Structure formats: structure tokens, C-alpha cells
Amino acid sequence: MKPKPTIRTIILLGLVLFSLACRITAPGNPESTPGRVVFADDFSDPKSGWNQVIAENGETSYADGVFRILVNAPNMDIWARPGLNLDDVHIEVDAIKVGGDRNNRFGVVCRLQGVNFYTFMISSDGYFGIGKVRNEIYELVGMSSLQLSEAIKLGSAVNHLRADCIGNRLAFYVNGTLLAEVQDDDLTSGDVGLIAGSYVTIGVDIRFDDFIVSAP
């Protein structure tokens, strides 16, 4: 099993360099499907609102019609957000690794306020997990370790990610397959966003495209 992501440098870099945020609320139906689109971005416009930072330890930026998160330090997560304040949401995005080791992590976040948020991440070697950062402490939700799934495309293949944040229901789909569904009541509102992280090997370079947020 993979180790849990750590919060050690997430908080430091998040406070100094990067912004974040996301939100949710209301009882959810496990079979609920995305409805009215409330926000969509294909990243063709570099002024569409996502925070951009270029620093020694990492980068969040628009790059040739996609959004890039580069992590250049070990055991670090970097996130970016468009600056929204939403209720119950479905989040979808396409993600691909273009650089770095397969032993990485990347995905989406919701209910992001300050340094508190839920995260839905996969790795390029086939693992996934739903996690929570609360009061600068990271923990997995509903699982003791990251889990392996054949639904995740390995290496530098495009994976379609979907996270449902509806009431206390958190569900994670990858390439149309429901991988995990858990409940948690801690976080109730905030922004949405993208996240990528490293373990020992630096140079994690993830590109995101076709980010869509819809109401249930």
C-alpha cells in the first residue's frame, strides 16, 4: 500500500505561494448525475481566474490550452483554484502526467477554505484515495491507506476524474467507474480546485483540461 500524503509542506507552500478553496452541502443520491453546469474552463483563456505562481518548488500556470501543476520538491502538494463559492457539486476534469515518476498523486479538491479541504486523488501507478485536510492535519476518509484500482490508466495516459461533493457524501469516479463512496460532515462549503503532489521523486508535472463543475 502507498503511504498517505503528508501535510508537511502542503501548508507551508500553500500559505506562502498558493491559494485554494471549495464547497458542498445536502443529502446525495448515490445514483445522482451531473446537472446544470455552474462553471466550466477549457483553459484556453489564461485570464479565466485560476491562481498562477512560478517558484523554485513548483508552479501553477496556464500552458498551451491546459492547466499545469508542477511539483519540484519532495513530499509536497500544490493546488490551484478558480475562486468560487459553491453548494453541492459534481467536479469533472481530464488529467495526464507529462513528467516525473509514476509514484505521484493528482486530482481535484472541494470545500476548500484556507487550508481545509477534501481531496480526490489518483497516482500514475494506479492508486486512489479520498482525503481531508483539517486544521493542518491530513487523513484519508473511509480508508486506512490508498487503494489500487484497474480503472486507473497507468503512466502518461489521460484519466477522467469525477468527484461528487453532495451533503456529507463524497464519491470518487475514475474513467466512469465508482471507486469509493464515503461520508464526512466536517467541511460544508468553499471553493473547488486542482491538486498534484510528490513523494520522494520531484518533477511531478500534471496537465489538466476540460474542468467542469455542475449542480446535482
Domain with residue 71: its CATH number is 2.60.120.560
Percentage of the chain modeled with pLDDT above 70: 85
Residues 204 and 197: their CA atoms lie apart, in Å, by: 7
Overall number of domains in the chain: 1
Is residue 140 in some structural domain? yes
Is residue 2 in some structural domain? no
Q: Determine the pLDDT at residue 182.
A: 98
Is residue 1 in some structural domain? no
Contact criterion met (CB below 8 Å) for 70 and 58:
yes
Is residue 114 in some structural domain? yes
Q: Quick check: helix, strand or coil at residue 82? A: coil
Task: Kindly state the greatest CA–CA separation across the chain.
Answer: 43
Is residue 3 in some structural domain? no
Check pLDDT > 60 for residue 14: no
Count CB atoms within 10 A of the CB of residue 207.
22
Q: Determine the pLDDT at residue 136.
A: 81
Confidence of residue 28 (pLDDT cuts 50, 70, 90): very low
Residues 6 or more apart in contact with residue 146 via CB below 8 angstroms: 1, 2, 3, 4, 123, 127, 128, 129, 140
Q: Determine the pLDDT at residue 178.
A: 98
Is residue 206 in some structural domain? yes
Domain that holds residue 96: 8-214
Check pLDDT > 70 for residue 5: no
Residues 68 and 111: their CA atoms lie apart, in Å, by: 21
Residue 1 has what DSSP assignment? Answer: -
Q: Determine the pLDDT at residue 34.
A: 72
Burial 101-129 (b: 16+ CB within 10 A, else e): beebbbbbbbbbbebbbbbbbbbbebbbb
Is residue 130 in some structural domain? yes
Residues 71 and 55: their CA atoms lie apart, in Å, by: 10
Percentage of the chain modeled with pLDDT above 90: 81
pLDDT per residue over 83-135, tens digit each? 999 989 999 999 999 999 999 999 999 999 999 999 999 999 999 999 999 98
Record the cell numbers describing residue 136, joined without a space.
493542518
pLDDT per residue over 46-83, tens digit each? 999 999 999 999 999 999 999 999 999 999 999 999 99
Is residue 134 in some structural domain? yes
Residues 6 or more apart in contact with residue 176 via CB below 8 angstroms: 151, 160
Contact criterion met (CB below 8 Å) for 21 and 83:
yes
By residue count, the chain amounts to 216
Contact criterion met (CB below 8 Å) for 165 and 22:
yes
Gyration radius of the chain's alpha carbons: 15
Contact criterion met (CB below 8 Å) for 178 and 39:
no
For residue 80, give the amino acid letter.
A
Record the cell numbers describing residue 156, joined without a space.
502518461
